[in-house]
Structure 1
């Protein structure tokens, strides 16, 4: 979850075709597709995904309506049921609170003949699988865990250059959140003896929680060289905290998400780096897949690795001039 999370990239260009039908009521012979966007939280990242989807469906008179579950799985299930029974929507983009939450939503949508596209977390037994796993899900846009670990480890190693062992303070959403814990554990395993995560800071993707918790973490680990955030918002929130502690030169800050603010901070040297996401392109691709499904056409791309949509993936002082942020 890009922060959430993430997380997470798509095709550089997507067409805006719609479906045709003898009963179409659009002025150009196409039938509008209205999409329910079911997110686990609001904010400018999901808004960018929704905007990308609307850029596609609006060409034929379709719309995207967003719902915020506030990290509550039961609320998301209820919102999914309401979207299905309302009769207002022909398709759903689902960003699950967790993999289990998505299963009843996808099943109910399948029973109603409404296709579902999921992103960030796959629905089913494997939250990182690129292929649809359950009936009703027609497209998946996720980042395989190994891929995210690999790019983050590359950034951390650069930030840790010259320090051995390198001490890292890392953000997690909560002690029970699977994605952020799997990511941090995977990073620590991949780093081996070269570095260690000395403390995990719980945030619930709330930058205010970083501002409260990070000072104590810095005091407890005065030799820490890196703060790794699972969202750019948290990385940005860490800047004044680390400055107030007098550790701006010592502690390198790494984000995740490729937001506009974080990109600017990388450019001026305030952040060491971040990893890219492309929410507008993600939303466009998922909308294309849903339009194809609604029309009964073969889906052009049902599986999307969010780290393979565009370049550069690693945003550092060397590459920041090549990157165009799509949110934040």
Structure 2
């Protein structure tokens, strides 16, 4: 879906943007800005990433509506830089709310625990913080989660592929899975769930499983490998970027594509019938929701400990032509 790049759970887009470093102080207690307004620190994957930028736009929108402010801390996909930014922000006493998109969900745990101890309302957004990829529940006590469960994401991709096979009455149906990055535990959890789902349908045959990555170039290369092995492949699953590359390689072939991503370009491809379906999340809306949850908790209101992103998505993320009718997408690739 969203693009990932180097670093254990990093999201992909290969531009560089500068880091923003907060002020530091001697003690760790949350603070509002002058006039009593709450301050939100947003720790995104990278400012240059379109998915992250759309998330922050939602955070800012909600902050303005509530009379709060929001600041983007940009680690540029560097997990350790993100850990340092969170630690510094805790020490600075400048923020009452953190919204965290973890580049490495395990690495940030000690810093997140410190933020909770300091009384900061911490919202874990999109990627789980912790080492489990099969649950949306908080893995650090005191945090709020608004995440996309990787195992559920993989199962949904597999289900969409099975539906694509059945839509064409294909038996056997040859499916190729362009998995993300084999080095990433999150990607492996997603891949395993997708493959297990495919195996439950006897008419579906996993014809190829190759690393597709999160760029069009990596998708093109992966598709070239797939077509050499299985020129008659029927369905291809992969990140939205990899699928765009695969489509360019396989022009003219009657392949049904399943994309993991919900940009405007992806939504349009599904609506036009070029791609069969996509795993769709309303990214900007989910950024606003994360800010809402954090601000509510900071103000002493009761909030749910866990919300899965698909609860707020059309078709619970199953983005077929029917469920995406009237949807435009909330970011550009």
Would you call these one fold, judging by a TM-score over 0.5? yes
Is 1:301 matched with 2:307? no
Q: Could you tell me the TM-score, scaled by structure 1's length?
A: 0.81
The structure-2 alpha-carbon separation of the partners of 1:6 and 1:186, relative to structure 1 and needing over 3 Å to count, comes to farther
Q: Could you tell me the TM-score, scaled by structure 2's length?
A: 0.80
Aligned to 2:236: 227
Instruction: Select the residue among 104, 107, 110 that pairs with 1:98.
Output: 104
Q: Distance in 2 between matches of 1:76 and 1:166?
A: 43
Q: Distance in 1 between matches of 2:80 and 2:54?
A: 25
Shift of 1:150: 4.2
SS in 2 for 1:34: strand
SS in 2 for 1:50: helix
SS in 2 for 1:160: helix
Shift of 1:38: 3.1
SS in 2 for 1:198: strand
Aligned to 2:69: 62
Is 1:151 matched with 2:156? yes
Is 1:282 matched with 2:286? yes
After the TM superposition, which residues 31-50 of structure 1 pair with which residues of structure 2 at under 5 Å, given as runs?
31-39=37-45, 42-50=48-56
State which drifts further: 282-291 or 31-40.
Answer: 31-40
Could you list the runs of 4 or more consecutive aligned residues of structure 1 that deviate by over 6 angstroms after TM superposition?
none
Q: Distance in 2 between matches of 1:52 and 1:306?
A: 14
Aligned to 1:160: 165
Shift of 1:74: 2.1
Q: How many residues align?
A: 303
Q: Distance in 1 between matches of 2:10 and 2:263?
A: 11
Shift of 1:203: 4.2
Q: Distance in 1 between matches of 2:287 and 2:189?
A: 25
Q: Distance in 1 between matches of 2:259 and 2:155?
A: 15
The structure-2 alpha-carbon separation of the partners of 1:91 and 1:254, relative to structure 1 and needing over 3 Å to count, comes to same
Q: Distance in 1 between matches of 2:319 and 2:58?
A: 22
The structure-2 alpha-carbon separation of the partners of 1:204 and 1:222, relative to structure 1 and needing over 3 Å to count, comes to closer
After the TM superposition, which residues 1-328 of structure 1 pair with which residues of structure 2 at under 5 Å, given as runs?
2-4=2-4, 25-26=34-35, 30-39=36-45, 42-59=48-65, 60-70=67-77, 72-137=78-143, 139-145=144-150, 147-161=152-166, 162-192=169-199, 193-229=202-238, 231-243=239-251, 246-247=252-253, 249=254, 251-295=255-299, 297-312=300-315, 313-328=317-332
Between the two structures, name the one with larger relative contact order (CA 8 Å, sep ≥ 6).
Answer: 1
Deviations 1:276-325 (A, max 9, x none): 10112211121112112323x13323311111113233323333324342
Shift of 1:87: 4.4
Q: Distance in 2 between matches of 1:171 and 1:33?
A: 40
Q: Distance in 2 between matches of 1:173 and 1:324?
A: 25
Contact 1:260 1:325 in 2 (8 A): yes
Aligned to 2:23: none
